[in-house]
Amino acid sequence: MLKNRLIPVLFLKNGFLVRSRGFDLHQSLGNPVTQVERYNDWDVDELIYIDITDYSLNDEEVQLRSDLGSNKGMQTSDINKIFNFVSSKCFMPLTFGGGIKNIEQAREKFELGADKIIINSQALKEPSFITKLANIFGSQAIVVSVDVKISEDKYLVYSDLGSKNSNKDPLSWCREVEDLGGGEIFLNSIDRDGSAQGYDIKLIASISSQIKIPLIACGGVGDFKHFSEGINEGGAAAVAAGNIFNFKELAYPLAKKFLLDKGLNFR
């Protein structure tokens, strides 16, 4: 039986590590490498980096860090410099997402040290992109992020950093992702993001029970018990979070101990 995973998620915006709330408010937390060094010490199961920089803005609207290889007018190659530096310091499995729109950009991430990549907006625009990636790199390396928001009392999938409504039903889209060769679903609740109110268990359970590929739950963790709820009640294969690991001292080892003490199947 596969073990469950506990996964920290680090969001990068303009080259800075940020705290996210509702996919809209972002508080800078500083250097994206510092956290990696902590996670190495904690023997983290896996680490996810997601670049949420809005590259549609012009240079004057985007304030970019001047160290770690990025500067004003950062393009994909510049974020790759940051990621390359991060991967050189990272001793656990590493997943990278954000702005991957073609095979070349995906290949770059793997060459820079990614074990898996996350795609989102491009998959919704071109579903066959999932199959193309899976055929080249293997399904196990392709994670599809599904960002969900409640609109008019319905769950709907959003793209473009949570700004564009695809009008797709989350379960139908996740089933399609599976059929197209996606290896995992990264299910993120926009409404719960940064809220510390716990996962949207109803959403997670409705999808995890209907697909065969692993589902990573994200969005809303404010207490260790939320991780166990994601596994026990939601049926997630892995539980992920961002803010709780940034603000609580020794959060990862304490969370892992909590989950093991609950008898859950973590390593």
Domain range list for the chain = 5-261
Average pLDDT, the chain: 88
Question: Is the model more confident about 230 or about 69?
Answer: 230
Question: Would you state the pLDDT for residue 23?
Answer: 62
Contact 173, 157 (CB under 8 A): yes
**Active-site residue 147, yes or no?**
yes
Contact 26, 19 (CB under 8 A): yes
What's CA 111's distance to the chain center, in Å? 19
Question: Would you state the pLDDT for residue 27?
Answer: 59
Mean pLDDT along residues 152-157: 96
What does the alpha-carbon distance between residue 176 and residue 150 come to, in Å, rounded to a whole number? 20
Question: Would you state the pLDDT for residue 159?
Answer: 94
Tokens of 163: 């700004």
pTM of the model: 0.90
Residue 221, pLDDT > 90, answer yes
Out of 56-70, 86-100, 181-195, which region has the weakest mean confidence (pLDDT)? Answer: 56-70
Question: Is the model more confident about 173 or about 30?
Answer: 173
Question: Would you state the pLDDT for residue 24?
Answer: 65
Q: Let me know if domain 5-261 sits in CATH 3.40.50.620.
A: no
Q: Rounded to the nearest 5 degrees, what angle is found at the Cα of 59, between the Cα atoms of 56 and 61?
A: 75
Beta-bridge partners for 149: 156
Pair type for strands 16-21 and 5-13: antiparallel
Task: State the pLDDT confidence band at 215, using cuts at 50, 70 and 90.
Answer: very high
Question: Is the model more confident about 243 or about 16?
Answer: 243
Query: Which residue in the list 45, 51, 78, 147 is annotated as catalytic?
Result: 147
Helix (H) or strand (E) holding 203: helix 201-208
